[in-house]
Structure formats: structure tokens, C-alpha cells
Chain A
């Protein structure tokens, strides 16, 4: 993976760099970066063998919201489009997967794939307008899109079950067998979420992702270099919607009920909180942010007589003061110190 624009810049010696990196050095770099990741994946995969079903369920929820948060980070952190209505596409994905499972098939991976497609299509239909605006107008438009989706989910009760929610979603099936045990569901969620993370990572580190960062930092300059900011932002919006839809599809499969509130502003705001807490633009930071949000809201919240949101608010205020760049800012301190001598040489 040493082919990304960012890493191709790192070798400082003139004449070297990605263009002339040998396969051997690329292999060792891959190993160095890949080994900790492999350990993490194995540890995550082994979780259900050691934890109670309830914990496995919580972990599944964390993974789903982490994927959702990273898809939002593609918009907020990488492209510079702070969306207040990203839950709309999560909701569209969740309802799609639920309806597909009820009326057609719950055979994996059909519901989640269709959920991703539905999220992307919904993002294409609404993003066409939204990404033409900027600043506060973008905030207001995405807020409106989110609320519109929430209202539709509530009002179209014959399709969505209205405010009672869409229930009776059959459990996910693999090879015709329903997955009942929390551990198996967790493995399914983990596999799909990892593919989602990989997809988002590839996009963020592709030449296309580099152009998105350019648009985030200096849109007029990108225009003068011959890039069409609209086209890039639109595609980013569609991709983010698609991955949010994928997360929504997983969510419907896990909880087997979808509520209109899943598409509402509160969900969007929680995910924005996860992105800011974790560190926007880092992709892995929002994963931690999502974990904190889910744990505080769903695990510690009930122990505080339902004051989870209050605790989240406190965590947010503290984090903004203590960690202006999110959790990712903490990790940024270590490599920079390590890199310093090389830079000075």
C-alpha cells in the first residue's frame, strides 16, 4: 500500500520515492504497517469466543456506528462538507435492508448490498442539490434532507411501520440457515464493516481522495488547476451515502427493527460528535469516537437514569478543550517526535 500519494511523498531523498521504491522495501513497509492491523483484526474476530452475547451485541453496534462515522468522515474530514443529515442515508439503508428481508430475502449479503445501493441512490438524488451549496447553506440543506427523511419514515406508515418502527425483520441467513447467536451475527457485521472500512480507506488514499483534500483546503485553487469541485464533491457525497446505507443495512440485520429516529437529526448529530471526538479526516479516529458515543449512550447511559446524552455532552466539552484534534491528535504527537531527527537531517 505504499502507492498512495501521501506516502509517496515521505521519502525525502531526491530521486527516490514511490516512483523508484523497490518491491522488497514495499513489502517490508506493508509488513510493518500490516502486522499490527492483522493482530487487531484477529483480536476483533476472536472477541465472541471470550465475551458474553450482550457484549458481542454491543461490539456489533460499535462496528456499525464506526462504519457510519467513517463514512461521514469522508464528507466532513476529507472533503470538508459538514453534513447535518447523514443519518438520512443510514436510515434509507436500514429501511431498505429491513424491507428486502421481510418481503424478499434475508440471505446475506443481499440486504446490505441493496442497502448500500439505496443509500448511494438517495445520496445522488439529494446531493445533486446539496453539494452545489457551501458553508451554512450546506448545513441547512443537509439538515432539511435529514428531517425530510425522518418525516417520510414516520408518515409512510404502510411501508415503514410509521412511528412504531419497522419490526418483524427476519434474522440474517447464510446458506439458508438463520444466524441467531450473537457471536455469528458479530462475525457477519465485522466482515462487512471491515470491507466497508477498506473501501473508505482506499477512496481516501486514492488520487481521487487527494483531490477531495485539495477541494477541502482550497477550492478556488483546485478549480484553477482544472478540477471540477462539483463533480468530486458529488461523487464523495454518493460514496459516503452508500457506505452509510451499508451501515444502516447491518443495523437492520442486527436489531431487526428500524425506527424513524434512526434517520433523524439526533443520529446525525451523534455521528458528527463521533467524528469530531475521534479527529476529523483521520478515518480511524472516528472509529474510536463512535465506540465512545455508543458506550456512553447505550452502556453507561442506562446506569445514569437515562442521562447518557448529558454525559456525552460533558465528554464532548472536555474533549474539545483537551483534545482539539480529537483522539487522533494524541497519536499524532508520537510519530512526529519520532520523525523529527530525520526531518532535521
Chain B
């Protein structure tokens, strides 16, 4: 593969005595489709926050395309091309679907600083095109507050793509989506150009294995394994992490439900 886009070197984050992310080292090449999986509490969402800068690291360094971004703030990292969808939908509820996407799309244009009303034809066109891609063009004028959960997730994806990211972090993008919405999302993500690197956290393994060429399994804040989908499927360590010792192959041979949630 090509050069490394995202490089995490020994990063960690502690909350008091709890090490939510502990000494994680990970290289994601440009154009990769990389999945992060692990039981609840494995530190996946925290790791995302360390990459985006929403949380500062307590150890290690984060580099994007070779330059150290550890000390950059969240908005500076976003300006460098890191975009994300959040696990819990975080949209502007009183604004319309199009306005939500437009706020992200206009960030790419110089007009965002304008102090007088400006025609943002390019940004509006781009926002509408993205809404068509995620299948929400007919909802453009609808306030986000009135959308279903699944539709809000789709808006999230459109917003993230409107930022024209180099690195797109998707935190459970398919959660709460219907099977049809979910497969549309997979199709959309598969069609993204390889100039966009994807890192995805997802419990739905159908989505993970449909998209990812590399999978990293996190457990208790540490990297348990990084490998191909097949390597992860057959790993005894992964099965033990999810299901406890001595309970192999219940889920991961594909015979059971495709969810790795531990209740």
C-alpha cells in the first residue's frame, strides 16, 4: 500500500486510574478501509476522540501524513482533513437538513468568513449532491429535529463528507439504521475514492467485513490484534476477549448473529 496517512505512536488516555486507551500504536495507510472493533468499553470511541483532538492524549503522539498533530486543537485537525461522524448523532436540530450539510460544505469555501450575505452556489450544489448520495435529497428542507434516527445518521455521513476529508472516522455509522439504509450506506462508503481513508467503528460485522480490508481489535484499551478479516475471525484471542475463556466460535464462524455486543 501507499504511504501512511494516520500514525498513532504509543498513545494513551487515562481518566484517573482508568486507562481508557493504553499504549496504542497503529499505522493507517492512505486509502485504507480500516475497522476498529471490540467489546463495549474497549476504548474505540475514546481512541477516535484522541485522533480528532476532542480529547487530549496523556501519552504518545498522533501524526497525519507525516506531521505531528498531537498539539493541534480539534478544529485545526479538522482543517487538515480529519472528519468524523459521532456515535450519538450531533446535528443542528433546529436547522434544516440542507443547512446542516451547508455549514460543513461552506467551510471549504472562502465565503465562510463573509460578513455580508453571499451566494454560495458551489457550496449549495455540493450539499445537494451529497444529500442525493445518501438518499435524502427529498428531505433537504426538513428540520433535522423531525427526522428519524436512521435519517439523522445519513445526514451525519453527508455532513462528514461535505468537509472533503482525507481521513474519515465513522463511529457506528449504521447504528439504528434499517437494513436498506445500512446497505445503501455501505454502497456509498464503498464508492468513495481511495483519496479518502476510512477508519470505522462498527458493531454490525456485516458492515465491517463488507468494507474493511484491515481490522484492529481493541480490548481494555489496548490493541489485541490487527489483521485481515479472516485473521480476526479465526483468532482465539479475539474470541476469548469477546466471549470469555473456553467459549470459542459461537459467533465468529458466521453461524450466529453478526453482532459482537457483550451484554
Contacts and interface: CB of A to CB of B under 8 A. Distances in A.
A5 B99 contact: yes
Interface string B84-125: 101000111111101100111011000111111111110011
B93 A217 contact: yes
Contact of A223 (B74, B91, B95): B74
A206 B117 CA distance: 4
Contacts of A210: 99, 102-103, 106
Given A19-B121, A206-B118, A225 B104 contact: yes
Contacts of A1: 117
Given A9-B96, A17-B124, A226 B163 contact: yes
A246 B193 CA distance: 52
B145 to A, nearest CB: 11
B103 A18 contact: no
Interface residues on A, range: 35 or more
Interface residues of B, number: 46
Contacts of A6: 99
Given A9-B98, A221-B90, A203 B115 contact: yes
A225 B78 contact: yes
Contacts of B83: 224
Interface stretch (B8-16, B21-29, B134-142): B134-142
Interface in B126-158: 128, 132, 137-138, 140-141
A210 B138 CA distance: 23
Nearest to B119: A3
B78 A202 contact: no
A5 B99 CA distance: 7
B247 to A, nearest CB: 39
Contacts of B107: 225-227
A11 B124 CA distance: 12
A305 interface: no
Q: Which of A211, A217, A221, A226: most chain B Cβ within 10 A? A: A226
B30 interface: no
Contacts of B94: 217
A48 B205 CA distance: 75
Contacts of B132: 14
A223 B137 CA distance: 26
Contacts of B61: none
B78 A220 contact: no
B64 interface: no
A217 to B, nearest CB: 5
Contacts, number: 126
A10 B117 contact: no
Contact of A217 (B95, B104, B112): B95
B119 A224 contact: no
Contacts of A218: 90-92
Contacts of B195: none
A261 interface: no
A241 to B, nearest CB: 15
A221 B96 contact: no
Interface string B218-250: 000000000000000000000000000000000
B126 to A, nearest CB: 10
A220 B49 CA distance: 12
Nearest to A228: B75
Interface in A1-24: 1, 3-6, 8-12, 14-15, 17-19
Given A3-B117, A224-B52, A18 B92 contact: no
B159 interface: yes
B125 to A, nearest CB: 5
A214 interface: yes
B79 interface: yes
Interface string A50-87: 00000000000000000000000000000000000000
A211 B109 CA distance: 13
B104 to A, nearest CB: 5
B242 to A, nearest CB: 30
Nearest to B124: A19
Given A3-B119, A226-B107, A14 B140 contact: yes
A206 B78 contact: no
Contacts of B90: 218, 220-221, 224
A18 B98 CA distance: 12
B138 A5 contact: no
Given A203-B115, A208-B113, A221-B91, 7 more contacts: A19-B121, A205-B117, A207-B120, A208-B114, A214-B103, A226-B75, A227-B107
**Shortest beta-carbon contacts, A-B, top 10:** A226-B78, A12-B141, A19-B121, A4-B117, A3-B119, A226-B79, A202-B116, A223-B74, A19-B124, A223-B75
20 contacts: A3-B118, A3-B119, A9-B99, A14-B128, A14-B140, A17-B124, A17-B128, A18-B119, A19-B128, A202-B116, A202-B117, A217-B92, A221-B91, A222-B75, A223-B75, A225-B159, A226-B78, A226-B79, A226-B163, A227-B107
